[in-house]
C-alpha cells in the first residue's frame, strides 16, 4: 500500500513535474503559449453543432475474451459542443482557470465537452469472498469530466481535461452483480475488498498537444500527440494515430489516443463536419506512469493495494476501430483496445483487451 506520507511528500513534486512537461509541450511544440484568435478562426465554427454520445466498454465486446478481469467495463454519457454550450457545464469555468495557469491564453475553446460515467476493475477470480492478494485489487470510479480543445493552427491544437470523481462506491459493483444475475452468470462476491471501499474523492488534470501531418488529405489522416496528466493517473506519453476512409469530421475533434480506460470525454463525441463518414482508425501509444490509484490506492486505507515497485513504469497501448454515420443525425463506432501488463508479478501480470461501442446523436 502507498503510504500517506509518501503521497503527501510526492504530490508537490508530481505537480511541478507535470506542469513542467505541459509547459514544455505548450511553449516548445506549439511555437508560443498564446493561442491566437485568428488561428482558432481557421476552424469553421458556423458548422458546429451539439452532440450527445453514449458509450459502453466491456471485455466481452472483444474477441477471445471470456471472463471479467482487469478493466472489465464501463459506461458514459457525453455532451459536446462547438464552443457555445446549450447546457450548464459545472467544471468548465474551473477548467479554464487551470488552463490559463498552464499557459493557455486563448479565451475561447473551439470545442468543449462534458461527460458523466462509471467504470471498474476486477481480479480474474470474482467468485471468492476472500481477498485475492496475488492479483490486482477491485477498483471503481464514478466521475464527472470536462474537456476543452483549442486550435493553434490548421495543423496543430491543444486539448485539456479536468475530472472529479469518487473511488470505492457501490455503483459499479451493483451494476456488475445485476448484469451477472440477469444473464445467469456466476455471482461477483469480492467488491467489499475494493480500493477506497466506502468512497473517496479523487481528481485528474490532463493536457495534450496534437500535431496533424496529413490535415489536407481527403481520405487519410495521421497525427502525433504528446500528453501528460496528474491525479489518480499520473503519467506522460506519446501517441501515433491515423484514420483512413471517408472522413468529414475535423482532426481536432477526434482523439482516441487520450482514452483512459472508460473515459473518452476528449474522444469520439465530435459531430460530423460536412457530411457522411465511413472510415477505419487505429494507433499506438507509449506511457510512462508514475502513479495509478486503481492499483496503489489513495489516502484512505484499502484491503488490498500494490506498491510502486510491483508495477511496470512503461505501458504500451494499441487500438483499431471503425466509424460510420447513420443518416444525418447519428454516428456509430466500434473499437478494440489492447493494453500491456501494468503489474510485474503474480496473477495480475497480464495484458488487457476490451471492446467499446459508441453511439452519438447530433442536434
33-53: pLDDT as tens digits:
333 333 333 333 344 467 889
pLDDT in tens, 164-191: 999 999 999 999 888 888 877 788 889 9
Return the percentage of the chain with pLDDT > 90, whole number: 45
Instruction: Return the pLDDT at 7.
Output: 41
Question: 102: closest CA among 209, 259, 260?
Answer: 209
Closest CA to 274 of 77, 109, 43: 43
pLDDT for the residue 150: 85
- What's 4-362's CATH class? mainly beta
Taking the C-alpha atoms of residue 95 and residue 360, their distance in angstroms, rounded to an integer, is 24
Report residue 178 as a C-alpha cell.
445485476
Whether the predicted pLDDT of 161 surpasses 60: yes
User: Which residue is associated with the grid cell 489516502?
Assistant: 299
Extents of the domains making up the chain: 4-362
Q: What is the largest CA-CA distance in the chain?
A: 60
Please give the pLDDT value at position 89.
Answer: 67
CB atoms within 10 A of CB 86: 8
pLDDT interval class at 238 (50, 70, 90): very high
Global pTM value? 0.83
Amino acid at each position: 500500500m502507498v503510504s500517506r506520507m509518501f503521497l503527501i511528500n510526492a504530490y508537490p513534486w508530481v505537480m511541478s513535474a507535470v506542469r513542467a512537461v505541459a509547459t514544455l509541450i505548450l511553449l516548445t511544440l506549439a511555437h508560443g503559449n498564446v493561442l491566437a484568435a485568428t488561428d482558432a478562426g481557421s476552424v469553421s465554427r458556423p458548422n458546429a453543432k451539439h452532440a450527445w454520445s453514449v458509450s459502453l466498454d466491456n471485455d466481452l465486446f472483444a474477441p477471445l475474451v471470456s471472463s471479467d478481469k482487469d478493466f472489465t467495463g464501463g459506461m458514459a454519457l457525453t455532451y459536446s459542443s462547438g464552443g457555445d454550450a446549450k447546457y450548464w457545464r459545472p467544471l468548465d469555468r474551473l477548467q479554464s482557470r487551470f488552463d490559463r495557469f498552464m499557459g493557455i491564453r486563448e479565451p475561447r475553446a473551439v470545442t468543449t465537452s462534458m461527460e458523466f460515467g462509471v467504470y471498474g476493475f476486477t481480479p480474474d477470480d470474482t467468485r471468492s469472498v476472500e481477498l485475492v492478494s496475488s492479483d490486482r485489487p477491485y477498483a471503481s470510479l464514478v466521475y464527472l469530466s470536462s474537456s476543452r480543445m483549442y486550435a493553434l493552427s490548421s495543423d496543430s491544437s491543444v486539448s485539456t481535461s479536468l475530472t472529479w470523481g469518487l473511488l470505492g462506491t457501490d455503483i459499479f459493483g451493483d451494476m456488475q452483480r445485476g448484469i451477472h444475475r440477469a444473464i445467469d452468470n456466476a455471482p461477483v462476491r469480492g467488491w467489499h475488498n475494493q480500493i477506497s471501499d466506502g468512497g473517496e474523492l479523487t481528481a485528474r488534470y490532463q493536457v495534450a498537444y496534437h500535431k496533424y501531418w496529413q490535415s489536407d488529405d481527403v481520405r487519410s489522416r495521421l497525427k502525433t500527440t504528446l500528453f501528460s496528466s496528474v491525479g489518480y493517473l499520473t503519467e506522460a506519453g506519446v501517441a501515433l494515430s491515423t484514420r483512413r476512409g471517408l472522413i468529414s469530421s475535423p482532426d481536432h475533434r477526434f482523439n482516441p489516443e487520450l482514452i483512459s480506460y472508460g473515459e473518452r470525454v476528449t474522444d469520439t463525441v465530435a459531430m460530423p463536419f460536412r457530411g457522411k463518414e465511413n472510415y477505419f482508425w487505429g494507433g499506438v501509444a507509449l506511457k510512462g506512469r508514475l502513479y495509478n490509484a486503481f492499483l496503489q490506492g489513495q489516502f484512505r486505507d484499502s484491503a488490498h493495494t500494490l506498491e510502486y515497485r510491483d508495477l511496470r513504469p512503461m505501458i504500451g497501448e494499441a487500438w483499431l476501430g471503425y466509424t460510420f454515420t447513420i443518416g444525418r443525425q447519428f454516428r456509430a463506432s466500434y473499437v478494440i483496445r489492447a493494453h500491456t501488463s501494468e503489474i510485474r508479478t503474480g496473477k495480475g501480470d497480464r495484458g488487457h483487451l476490451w471492446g467499446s461501442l459508441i453511439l452519438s446523436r447530433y442536434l
